[in-house]
Amino acid sequence: MKTDYLIALMEKTSLLVMLFLLISRLNTFKSIFEKEKYSKKDLAVISIIFTSLAIMATYNGIHYKGSIVNTRIISIVSGGILFGPVVSIPAGFIAGAHRYFIDSGGMTSVPCFISSIMAGILSGIAHKKIPKSSRAFWGILIGMISENITILLIYFISKPTDLAIDIIRAIYLPLIVGQLGIGFMVSIVQVIEKDKKEIEVRKKAEITSLQRQINPHFIFNALNTIASFIRFDPQKARELIISLSTYLRHNLEFNDKPISIKKEIDQVKSFVEIEKARFGEKLKVIYDIDDVDVKIPSLIIQPLVENAIIHGILSKEKNKSGQVIVSVKDLGEKVKVSVEDDGIGIDDKVIEDLYSGNMPENKIGLYNVHLRLKLYYHRGLDIKKLDSGTLIEFYVGR
């Protein structure tokens, strides 16, 4: 009999763990689990997830002589060990109350209600006191302690005593062994955190790579342009030196920390002023910038503008001028950033290569921007070939 219930409960535990694994793979929830700090909204979503899993576990439980053998405690403790009391205490209280009201006359309903709340409190307290590396072990231990509280309460509260003892003998081992499921649920989130750290390492490597790609030809051409202005327009030469200084300083300060979009636009303007000095009337740049206060990864917009000028405008027929529009629009919850040119238009093969990760070396700047945006926002560049020119967009969440 005990073996039958043990096998049945392990199946229920496996189902719970598998369901949580599927939930954790959804981008909406995965992006929350990857964060180092959680907002109130994030914690509310996480609490709903673990509360729902705990309630589902009760419904999916095994009935035995007035008791319901289930995996409710696994969800409550996992939420507390991983995310703290803000998640586990509401989950423990709501799931415990649910367990009580669906079987309010049952002899184990009160013990289960109390132990659910205790599981939420104990795991929430343990969250801040134990190292991350030990969460799986302590989660299993607290799960076992919580279920022992359930058993003790059944023994002392539930009547008749003979029936209570019979229930305890049948369900004790399955409940205790089932707590191994906590270890699996904790491990799922730890794997997500590990993947995030690996992404961060890749991100830093890509940022370092991009930082080293300050085009030496641009510097050389900029200095030649400044030298030519020194002879007939010293004031313009001074302005270009300031623009070049701003451009270089921005590149040298380049790191993986987000910066104000206003600072990024200043970098773009410094770059554009030098290019306009080089190409004169051939190049026109329009800025359509809303007053927004958001942060974005550094050196994101300038490579897009550079790409529009070099591969769009300057590739047009000789003596034909071109226009680039740099736009930052406030859409409420998001900010849309776009760079549009009326040049020759991007090749469809380039768009295909970018989305497939097979970019040629002369377009590596565009690909790096696309990849970094995906790492930060899980969505890269949207590129459209227009009837005349190219439109590149991306979105920044607030």
Tens of pLDDT, residues 304-320: 998 899 888 877 777 78
Q: Which one is predicted more confidently, 176 or 2? A: 176
Would the pLDDT of 137 be above 80?
Answer: yes
Tell me: the pLDDT tens digits for 156-211? Answer: 998 899 998 999 998 898 899 889 999 999 999 888 888 777 766 766 666 566 55
In the chain, the largest separation of any two C-alpha atoms, in whole Å, equals 105
Contacts of 43 (CB under 8 A, 6+ apart): 83, 86, 87
What pLDDT does 369 receive? Answer: 86
| Structure confidence at residue 144 (pLDDT) | 96
* Alpha carbons 347 and 227: distance in angstroms, whole number: 36
Q: How many CB atoms lie within 10 A of CB 251?
A: 18
Specify whether the CB–CB gap between 285 and 323 falls below 8 A: yes
For the chain, what percent of residues have pLDDT higher than 70?
Answer: 92
Report whether pLDDT(231) > 90.
Answer: no
Each residue of 256-286: pLDDT tens digit?
Answer: 678 899 999 998 999 999 999 888 888 899 9
Domains of the chain with CATH codes: 2-194 (1.10.1760.20), 213-397 (3.30.565.10)
- Six-digit token pair at 338? 């776009």
Beta-carbon contacts of residue 91 (< 8 Å; ≥ 6 apart)? 47, 50, 51, 54, 75, 76, 79, 80, 120
Residue 189: how many other CB atoms lie within 10 Å:
21
Average pLDDT, rounded, for the chain: 87
Residue 1 has pLDDT above 60, yes or no: no
